[in-house]
Structure 1
Amino acid sequence: MDEKDQYRTVALILLLTVIIIILLSPPDVLLQRGIMVDTTPSYTSTERSWVKTVMELGESEAIERLPLEIGEWKGYRVEVEENVIETLKPDMMMERAYYTPESPNPVWLLIIRAENRSAFHDPKICYRGSGWSVVNETRVPLTLNGSKWVSKDRGGDRGDAVIMVNRLLIEKNDRERLIMYFYLKELIFASSPEMITIVRGETMVENGLGASERRVKNFMGEILPHLFIPQRDRGDPVALLLYRDYGLIGLLIEFLIILLPLTYLGRLLKRTM
């Protein structure tokens, strides 16, 4: 096989691979950027959930459009200290505090997006460096209020959704803080796979740990649907849709787009025999 035939063979194998991937993938996956909610910044976790972002996470102006009033929650912006920005060097960073009339003790919301992995070191390291001790660390389910996306879902009422988040309880001088956080990551083959966004909710523990945990979960369940929509059902693959919509003609199209490059590839391989 000469050099040109080698290139043709590799190109045909790649083409067949792409065709098969397209036929076996749902249209939504092909047409949107893949985003995952996960409990770690790496790609090794099994607790990830697929989501579709509602706004461009990389744009500070877009993030600032997060509502300051959500149901009973009212918020205000918090100025991030310059030394924190210099240390983390984030591409985007936003901090706010939200409270309710019944509880002036706020939930602090922090969103950081960066390519610099130092911005995403284990939060426990940061808290310990500030004199806090880790009392308990676990992962818990968080229910998102589905009313934000139900009306926009062409498939009907999907109801609430659940994601897994990290839960951290820390203590210092007889004071306790409760933190819940997770990561938003793009797929490895996305345009900016190194970009990671961390979302964190935090509050001082008052009136018992259970009440504080319910408050943080309630707040995050209300605010997060303004950031992303869970993709619980990723849809039927293209191959099934072609058959469903066009019947035998759809099957014939699938057969031909696989057969033609496969036939040409077979001819190239015969030349080497």
Structure 2
Amino acid sequence: MIFAHAITMIDTELSYATDEALTVRSKLDFGNNEHMRALSNEIGGWIGSDYDTAGVAERLGADVMLMRDYINPDTFQPVILLVLQSNNRSSFHPPIVCYPALGYTIEEEGTVEIPVQNMSWVEGPWFGAVQHLYPNVTVTAKKLIVTTQSGGKVTDRRVVLYFYVKKSPFTSDTTTMVRVSALAAPEGSYDGILNLTTTFMAYTVPCMFELRQDEDPVILILMATNIGKLMVGLMLLLPLLVMFYPRIRNLKSRRE
């Protein structure tokens, strides 16, 4: 399937851009269910199996939803990958809202750095064939530790990592979330599960994105979208209009 790589941003917040936001190109069409299901079932030694999400997606008002268990034979500890896209932000429920609504308590909130090794980036929108090594990259994800209790004891504890994929502000209101979660022991350290989910997300990111070169000029970013091209055209026309307007006005005055 041919997909024109779209310029997007990975960020930890939905409503504004943070200092950790990273500009990337999407390898996948997050707005296409078929394309999302084509995401590999084998990622970094983990083997995946899909959930049937048709009913859940309808209840959530999601346009596209992929939910998949991945199990590493070395650990037998499953991690759950969720990719959710909605064209209506009002129907989008971020984890910080969704988990409490499901009866969970947020015990801890923060961010975690995902070390992504051997990622490559395409040099620019007009030079798509050239590949370079980008050896040391970190992606920032939001981290939640959520629990449920019964009889005063923790019965369920989960480590949740997620980030948002946001399109250029010149395009649409579409919102995409990528979330990885796993069960942790009710008591004691959750570091092992945090390392597991971090490692899995580090393998997953290169399957979905390519990094952009930091030095890409703004005009190249604009030229990657139709609306951006229109804006560039208007910016180029504006100086000409300013330059020739007095002549056009004088010519019109002479004719009158």
Q: TM-score range by the shorter chain?
A: 0.7 to 0.9
**Residue 142 of structure 2 corresponds to residue 166 of structure 1:** yes
SS at match of 2:135: coil
> Which residue number in structure 2 is paired with residue 267 of structure 1?
247
> Which residue number in structure 2 is paired with residue 197 of structure 1?
176
> Which residue number in structure 2 is paired with residue 156 of structure 1?
132
Partners of 1:41 and 1:120 within 8 A in 2: no
**TM-score normalized by structure 2?**
0.76
> Which residue number in structure 2 is paired with residue 231 of structure 1?
212
Partners of 2:57 and 2:64 within 8 A in 1: no
User: Out of 162, 178, 187, which is 2:168 matched to?
Assistant: 187
Which deviates further from its counterpart, 211-220 or 262-271?
A: 262-271
Instruction: Name structure 1 gaps, 5 residues minimum.
Output: 1-30, 240-255
Give a deviation string over 1:146-180, Cα, whole Å, max 9, x none: 25669x97253211421211000011232310000
Letter of the structure 2 residue corresponding to residue 157 of structure 1:
L
Distance 1:124 1:104 in 2: 28
Distance 2:102 2:26 in 1: 33
Partners of 1:99 and 1:105 within 8 A in 2: yes
How far is 1:208 from its partner?
3.4
How far is 1:38 from its partner?
1.2
Give a deviation string over 1:221-270, Cα, whole Å, max 9, x none: 1012111112142435779xxxxxxxxxxxxxxxx999755531343577
> Which residue number in structure 2 is paired with residue 54 of structure 1?
27
Letter of the structure 1 residue corresponding to residue 166 of structure 2:
K
- C-alpha distance 269-167 of structure 1, shift in aligned 2 (>3 A): farther
Letter of the structure 2 residue corresponding to residue 219 of structure 1:
F
User: Out of 194, 202, 214, which is 1:221 matched to?
Assistant: 202
How far is 1:189 from its partner?
0.9
SS at match of 1:79: coil
Give a deviation string over 1:82-132, Cα, whole Å, max 9, x none: 2x2232121100100111112112110000111122442231322112221
Distance 1:203 1:139 in 2: 16
Partners of 2:5 and 2:26 within 8 A in 1: no
Give a deviation string over 1:64-99, Cα, whole Å, max 9, x none: 1111112311111112262x2232121100100111
Which deviates further from its counterpart, 68-77 or 227-236?
A: 227-236
RMSD of the alignment, in Å?
3.0
Q: How many residues align?
A: 223
Distance 1:148 1:34 in 2: 15
- C-alpha distance 80-104 of structure 1, shift in aligned 2 (>3 A): same
More strand per residue: 2
> Which residue number in structure 2 is paired with residue 36 of structure 1?
9
User: Out of 113, 132, 135, which is 2:107 matched to?
Assistant: 135
Partners of 1:35 and 1:186 within 8 A in 2: yes
- C-alpha distance 119-220 of structure 1, shift in aligned 2 (>3 A): farther
SS at match of 1:156: strand
- C-alpha distance 271-148 of structure 1, shift in aligned 2 (>3 A): closer
Which deviates further from its counterpart, 33-42 or 57-66?
A: 33-42
Give a deviation string over 1:181-221, Cα, whole Å, max 9, x none: 1111111212xx11111110000114831111111011011
Q: How much identity, in percent, do the aligned residues show? A: 26
Larger Rg: 1
**TM-score normalized by structure 1?**
0.71
Letter of the structure 2 residue corresponding to residue 46 of structure 1:
D
Instruction: Name structure 2 gaps, 5 residues minimum.
Output: 123-127, 221-235
SS at match of 1:61: helix
Partners of 1:55 and 1:62 within 8 A in 2: yes
**Residue 18 of structure 2 corresponds to residue 45 of structure 1:** yes
Distance 1:138 1:229 in 2: 25
